[in-house]
């Protein structure tokens, strides 16, 4: 549909002999009759199929021909108007484009935010009429909504919704549907950085009394050891030990194959992750970052657990017979097929509840593993490399949780420095007092001798 009156103009193909570029409107011969051709330029409503938003045609011999063509096109557009693109239509198009370019978990998050938040709030809006004020008003409504637990939506969730909207509108800019991204400078409440909290005795007592729990929590070393002891005979005990002792990501451990483990040299190679959407088959994907592709050292207890798990899996394969699925994966279902990451998280929650342990998420075992490494006086660079972080800043700023033992050691170290300084100060003070006393006695004796000598 035409959105303006349009223009006609004249152009030719002459080029500058030096730069070899076309003169365009600067050609000196353009005013001559018969030189060049006439063109029309008509603004139209952009669509997904024709996102340019401008119709250009040329090759007319005279201005009159071009003006008549412009009038014909405008009249045709008025008789056959095109509907403007709505955000819902663009979201459909954008979803189809990005589905095979994102990790399954990222695409699932985008879909959820579009379905639950962005489509209801903004889907009816015309894309070309979208403004920062319209988006801000829509997010005011989103912020006032409550989540499934009856609580206000957190600032971090709002930021994730914005992180879905911005790339969608950026893609619309690149497609030529809109001139700029109206969500680029959206000012919304920023989430507070959540620090992992250790399940101290006071926190545990309050949780048992009121049910309150930290959003991100870490077990103490005795709690972690108790969990491993209680799950000693669980068929996934080796998997939980990898999470607890080596801090692997959930999907990294589930994609391990037996060929990735070197029992002689005591390491495991992380080269992929196992992910999938709810109703779609699982698939292996490249790890999050380049640093995630790494070699992780294994302790002898973890190696012993992996050998026992290998024997158990061999027995399960023998029992399944021809029904066994030879995937080569280390951690599988009893049929040999891959374990779904969500099922592993559900089993972990069941075990924590069954043994009445303070509740944490499966991913919190990774926080705890990094904290345990630091408590064991492993240097920060080694801990960061083993965790697969790009920088030690990530390890120290996001994942590090100071366990009570490490905190007490730090407190005692500071106290030792103060006690040492106090002893040195007391020694210097006592020495100074003795030295001053000796000096006074010496001066007093010398004075007495002079008096005796003068009286004699």
How does pLDDT run across 183-225, given as a tens digit for each residue? 988 887 776 777 778 899 999 999 999 999 888 889 998 999 9
Q: Which residues contact 289 (CB under 8 A, 6 or more apart)?
A: 388, 390
Q: How far apart are CA 331 and CA 218, in angstroms?
A: 25
Q: Is the separation of the CB atoms in 263 and 303 below 8 Å?
A: yes
Burial readout 41-75 (b: 16 or more C-beta within 10 A, e: otherwise): bbbbbbbeeebebebeebebeeeeebbebbeebbe
Q: Is the separation of the CB atoms in 219 and 228 below 8 Å?
A: no
Query: What pLDDT is stored for residue 405 in this prediction?
Result: 60
Query: What pLDDT is stored for residue 429 in this prediction?
Result: 74
Q: How far apart are CA 32 and CA 28, in angstroms?
A: 9
Q: Strand, coil or helix: what is 55?
A: strand
Side-chain-side CA neighbours of residue 340 (13 Å)? 12
The neighbour count for residue 274, using CB atoms within 10 Å, is 22
What secondary structure letter does DSSP report for 333?
Answer: -
Over the chain (456 residues), the average pLDDT of each successive run of 10 is: 69 88 86 87 66 72 86 68 80 89 83 92 90 92 77 83 93 84 84 80 93 89 93 95 93 95 95 77 83 92 95 95 94 94 94 95 91 83 86 72 60 72 75 79 83 74
Q: Which residues contact 126 (CB under 8 A, 6 or more apart)?
A: 84, 85, 86, 87
Burial label for 449, CB within 10 Å (0-12, 13-18, 19+), is: exposed
Query: What pLDDT is stored for residue 2 in this prediction?
Result: 44
Helices vs strands, H then E, count in the chain: 16, 10
pTM above 0.85, yes or no: no
Q: How far apart are CA 115 and CA 85, in angstroms?
A: 18
Query: What pLDDT is stored for residue 406 in this prediction?
Result: 61
Q: Is the separation of the CB atoms in 292 and 270 below 8 Å?
A: yes
Q: Is the separation of the CB atoms in 38 and 61 below 8 Å?
A: yes
């Amino acid at each position: 549909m035409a959105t303006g009156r349009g223009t006609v103009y004249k152009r030719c193909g002459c080029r500058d002999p030096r730069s070899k570029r076309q003169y365009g409107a600067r050609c000196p011969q353009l005013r001559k009759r018969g030189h060049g051709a006439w063109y029309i330029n008509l603004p139209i409503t952009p669509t997904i199929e024709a996102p340019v938003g401008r119709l250009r045609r040329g090759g007319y011999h005279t201005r009159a021909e071009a003006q008549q063509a412009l009038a014909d096109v405008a009249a045709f557009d008025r008789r056959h108007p095109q509907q403007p693109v709505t955000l819902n239509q663009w979201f459909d198009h954008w979803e189809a484009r990005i589905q095979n370019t994102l990790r399954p978990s990222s695409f699932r998050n985008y879909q959820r935010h579009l379905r639950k938040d962005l489509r209801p709030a903004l889907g009816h809006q015309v894309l070309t009429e979208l403004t920062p004020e319209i988006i801000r008003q829509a997010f005011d409504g989103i912020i006032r909504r409550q989540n499934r637990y009856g609580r206000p939506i957190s600032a971090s969730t709002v930021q994730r919704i914005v992180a879905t909207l911005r790339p969608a509108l950026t893609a619309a800019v690149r497609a030529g549907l809109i001139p700029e991204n109206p969500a680029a400078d959206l000012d919304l409440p920023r989430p507070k950085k959540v620090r992992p909290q250790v399940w101290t005795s006071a926190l545990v007592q309050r949780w048992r009394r009121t049910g309150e729990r930290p959003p991100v929590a870490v077990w103490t070393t005795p709690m972690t050891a108790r969990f491993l002891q209680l799950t000693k005979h669980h068929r996934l005990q080796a998997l939980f030990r990898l999470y607890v002792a080596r801090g692997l990501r959930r999907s990294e451990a589930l994609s391990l194959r037996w060929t990735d483990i070197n029992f002689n040299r005591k390491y495991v190679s992380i080269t992929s992750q196992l992910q999938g959407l709810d109703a779609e088959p699982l698939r292996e994907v490249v790890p999050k970052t380049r640093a995630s592709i790494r070699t992780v050292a294994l302790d002898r207890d973890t190696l012993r657990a992996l050998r026992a798990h290998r024997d158990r899996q061999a027995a399960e394969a023998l029992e399944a017979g021809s029904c066994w699925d030879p995937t080569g994966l280390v951690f599988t279902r009893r049929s040999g097929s891959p374990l779904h990451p969500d099922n592993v998280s559900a089993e972990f929650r069941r075990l924590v509840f069954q043994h009445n342990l303070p509740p944490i998420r499966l991913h919190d075992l990774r926080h705890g593993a990094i904290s345990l490494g630091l408590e064991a006086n492993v240097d920060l660079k080694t801990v960061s490399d083993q965790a697969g972080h790009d920088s030690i800043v990530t390890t120290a700023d996001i994942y590090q949780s100071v366990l009570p033992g490490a905190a007490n050691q730090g407190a005692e170290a500071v106290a030792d420095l103060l006690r040492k300084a106090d002893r040195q100060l007391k020694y210097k003070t006592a020495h100074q007092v003795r030295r001053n006393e000796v000096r006074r006695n010496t001066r007093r004796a010398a004075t007495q001798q002079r008096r005796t000598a003068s009286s004699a």
